[in-house]
Structure 1
Amino acid sequence: MENKYKLILVEDDASLGYLLSEYLGMKGFSVTWTKNAQEALKKVETNAFDLAILDIMLPDMDGFELSQKIKTINPELPFLFLTARSLKIDVLKGFSMGAVDYLKKPIDEEELVVRINALLSRLVADVDTEPQETSFEIGNYTLNTESFELKHKGEGIKLTGKEFDLLTLLAMNINQLVTHKEILTTIWDKNDYFNKKSLNVFISHLRKHLSRDPRISIVNVNRRGFMLKVDEA
């Protein structure tokens, strides 16, 4: 039975794009396949879609940037990302930008169909979804995951990419233990001795960045991991 959902697929890989568009078409979806971001934006301007499926690595702009441009045209259009990148921090970034799902390549076509149907069924049933979390209050600090900024009472603090990713992960689990394994596989994509040494260095950097509020501490928990703690005022 045809479900008649209209999808836009943005995938520059000709083989994968053809395979996915044909398979989704066989499953009853109406699929518009484009190979670059500019073509996709034109399609979104002139057509109504139920879901956008965006590859991260595109020739003219990345999928993250494309998703934000699509939102300016149609703020209600949900989107999910496809990517060959394995870093879990990319998943966090994708969700912080409003993605409803994120699939890693190689794509399992049957899983993709199941996820699409589940997502669209949920979105249709729940039109009053909560807005995505885009900032975290850490004592007197604010960490914004859209602008990639850490501020203390309005004053910006420059963070490196790794520092930002690490602080975001800790802030998502504030006052809770985040294990060494979880941190290393998420931020460094590998849990080994050398990355663990590097992690300790970045924890020291974050402690200095957060030192303006004495209520904040990053605690080393019994060699198991770290906890970002904020004591009550």
Structure 2
Amino acid sequence: MNKPITILLAEDEPALGHIIKESLETRNFKVLLCDNGEKAKHVYQEQKPELLVLDVMMPKKDGFTLAKEIRTLDRTIPIIFLTAKSQTKDVVEGFTIGGNDYLKKPFSMEELIVRINNLLERTNLQKTTEILTLGDYTFNFPKQTLKLRNDGITQLTHREAQLLFHLIKNKNQVLDRKLILNKLWGDDDFFNGRSMDVFISKLRKKLSADEKIQILNVRGFGYKLIC
């Protein structure tokens, strides 16, 4: 049996904290529950969890302050904020200080669990050491580079590299649009969809030196990488 993923949950509402803890434990997560930010910082340092779920409004130390402090120690641990705040500036602040996702109260446990699993999958993807061949290109996923045979190296952005990785892994098959939006962007809304279209266009340009490679739009379904 796989070792359970350890989650640090910082939530100062006792009833909600225990509901979340029990729900996650039924999904084989190990949950460390704290009721204030100072305690959560201590538990983080002692237990080294693999994911953080932080309420924003907490006594002694709020979730944003806690996340800032933890980001100075660990740049990669996934962080989800829980909050009753709904103003755009609060959401922007959460992402700016290093949050990976933001869930507004009230929320369903199923939504929280889906977001946790998506973040863990993204984190595992980032740890892969795979170097893949695509036509005349060599794609180094860890270094986020494309090297054309007998030519120079093109640097990819983090999102371009993630998207190309999934396209290659599903080569000659349709990559479901909604699935990849939820996996990489966290939501399949209109604006994220437009953002993904832009990244697809950029990848087409960066792969254009090899005429055998095409990224096709499959209307109503997604994209298909052909090589």
Q: TM-score range by the shorter chain?
A: 0.5 to 0.7
Asked whether 1:29 is paired with 2:29, we answer yes
Report the equivalent of 1:70.
Answer: 70
| Paired letter, 2:121 | S
Answer yes or no: is the 8 Å Cα contact 1:44–1:74 preserved in 2. Answer: no
Structure 2 residues not aligned, in runs of 5+: 128-141, 145-156, 160-227
| 1:145-198 C-alpha deviation (Å, 9 max, x unpaired) | xxxxxxxxxxxxxxxxxxxxxxxxxxxxxxxxxxxxxxxxxxxxxxxxxxxxxx
Q: In structure 2, what is the equivalent of residue 96 of structure 1? A: 96
Q: 1: CA distance between counterparts of 2:98 and 2:45?
A: 19
Partner of 1:45: 45
Query: Retained in 2: the 8 A contact 1:2–1:29?
Result: no
| Unmatched runs of 5 consecutive residues or more in structure 1 | 133-233
Q: Structure 1's 5 and 49: CA in aligned 2 closer, same or farther, altered over 3 A?
A: same
Amino acid at match of 1:122: R
Structure 2 counterpart SS, 1:107: coil
Q: Is the 8 A contact 2:71 2:98 kept in 1?
A: no
TM-score (ref. length: structure 2): 0.54
Fraction of identical pairs, as percent: 38
Q: CA RMSD in A?
A: 2.3
Post-superposition CA distance 1:190-226 (Å, at most 9, x none): xxxxxxxxxxxxxxxxxxxxxxxxxxxxxxxxxxxxx
CA distance in 1, matches of 2:10, 2:81: 10
1:21-72 residue CA offsets vs partner (Å, 9 max, x unmatched): 0000001111100001111111111112111000000011221111011123
Matching residue's letter, 1:22: E
Task: State the alpha-carbon separation in 1 of the partners of residues 114 and 21 from structure 2.
Answer: 15
Report if the CA contact (8 A) 2:78-2:119 is conserved: no
Aligned partners of 1:120, 1:61: CA distance in 2, in Å? Answer: 26
Q: 2:72 is paired with a residue of what secondary structure? A: helix
Q: Using the alignment, how far apart are the partners of 1:96 and 1:24 within structure 2?
A: 27
**Count of paired positions:** 133
**Is this contact kept in 2: 1:45–1:73, CA < 8 A?**
no
Is the 1:56–1:82 Cα contact (8 Å) retained in structure 2?
A: yes
Question: What amino acid is aligned across from residue 87 of structure 2 in structure 1?
Answer: L
